[in-house]
Structure 1
Amino acid sequence: MQIAPAELEIMNVLWDQPGIGAAEIADVLASDKSWNIRTIKTMLGRLVEKGALATEAEGRRYLYRPLVKRGDYRRKEARQFVDRMFGGRAAPLVAHLADGKGLSAEDIAELEALLGELKK
C-alpha cells in the first residue's frame, strides 16, 4: 500500500489520536495546513479504499482508525527506500548521511549503541 505524503500527515494524526472524525483531524492540522474539510474527507476516503483506515459510524459522522501500525509502515517504507537507493544495504546509507553532515553526535551515539546490541 502506497500512502502519499499528504495522506501520511493524516495517518500521523490518527496514529496519535485513533478514533476521531474529519473535523478533529482538520483542527489538529489547521496550524500547519490550509486544507478545507472536503480535502481532508477526500484523503480519508482514499485511505479507507487503500485499506489503511477503518471507519465507524457515530450518528451522522464517521470516526477513523488506522488499520496499519505506524512502526510496520515505517519499516516497509524504510526497506523500500534502502532497496531502491542503496541496493538494499544500510552501510552506504549511513555513509551518505555521515558525508552530508546528516549525523549529529547523538545520532552517532545511538548508532554505536545499536551496533553494540546487534553484535551480542
Structure 2
Amino acid sequence: MYQEISDAEWEVMRIVWTLQEAYTSDILAALKDKKSWSQSTIKTLIRRLITKGLLSSKKDGRKFIYSPLVTETQMINQSSEKLLAKMCDMHKGGAILKLLQDYPISKSDLIKIEKEVQSKLKTAPDAVACNCIDKKMC
C-alpha cells in the first residue's frame, strides 16, 4: 500500500505519469497555466512525493529528472479502495452505478465491466447487509 497523496500531489503525479520522466521545468511549465503555485511550492510537492516513495529523482547535469515509482492505475485503485472502505456496504453499488452514469467509459472497458457483472451475478446476494455501527443509519 502506498502513501495517500493530496490533490496538489495528484496534479504533479499526473504530469510525471503522462511524461514518464519529467524535469522540474517540465512540471513547472505544465502547471503554470493551470495553477498559481510558486516554484518553491511545486518543488516542495515533488520532495514530498519522493519522500513518500512515489517518485524517483536522478541528477542529470545540473537538473533533476523525476520518474514515477507507482503507476497511475495503482494509485487510482488504492484511492478507490480507501474511499469504498469508508462507505456502508449497502451504498457501494449505488456509488459505482453513479460513476458509470456520470463518466466517459470506452466500449472495451464497458465490455470488461459487463463480463464482470455477469460473473458476479452468479453468486451475488439478493441484498447486501449494512455494516454500519448504527444499523438505524441505513
| TM-score > 0.5, shorter chain as reference | yes
Give the Å deviation of 1:39.
1.0
Q: Sequence identity, in percent? A: 23
TM-score of the pair, normalised by structure 1? 0.81
Give the Å deviation of 1:33.
0.5
What amino acid maps onto 2:14 in structure 1? N
Q: Which has the higher contact order (CA 8 A, sep 6+)?
A: 2
Distance in 1, Cα, partners of 2:16 & 2:103: 32
Partner of 1:50: 52
Give the Å deviation of 1:113.
4.1
Partner-residue secondary structure (3-state), 2:35: coil
State which structure, 1 or 2, has the greater radius of gyration over its C-alpha atoms. 2
Give the Å deviation of 1:89.
6.2
Distance in 1, Cα, partners of 2:103 & 2:45: 38
Partner-residue secondary structure (3-state), 1:63: strand
Distance in 1, Cα, partners of 2:103 & 2:22: 38
Partner of 1:12: 14
Give the Å deviation of 1:24.
1.1
Runs of 4+ in 1 over 6 A off after TM superposition: 109-112
Q: How many residues align?
A: 115
**1:116 and 2:114 matched:** yes
Give the Å deviation of 1:73.
0.7
> In the superposition, relative to structure 1, how do residues 67 and 111 fare at CA in structure 2: closer, same or farther (>3 Å)?
closer
Partner-residue secondary structure (3-state), 1:85: coil
Give the Å deviation of 1:14.
0.3
RMSD between aligned residues = 2.7
> Which structure 2 segments of 5+ residues have no match?
120-138
Partner-residue secondary structure (3-state), 2:66: strand
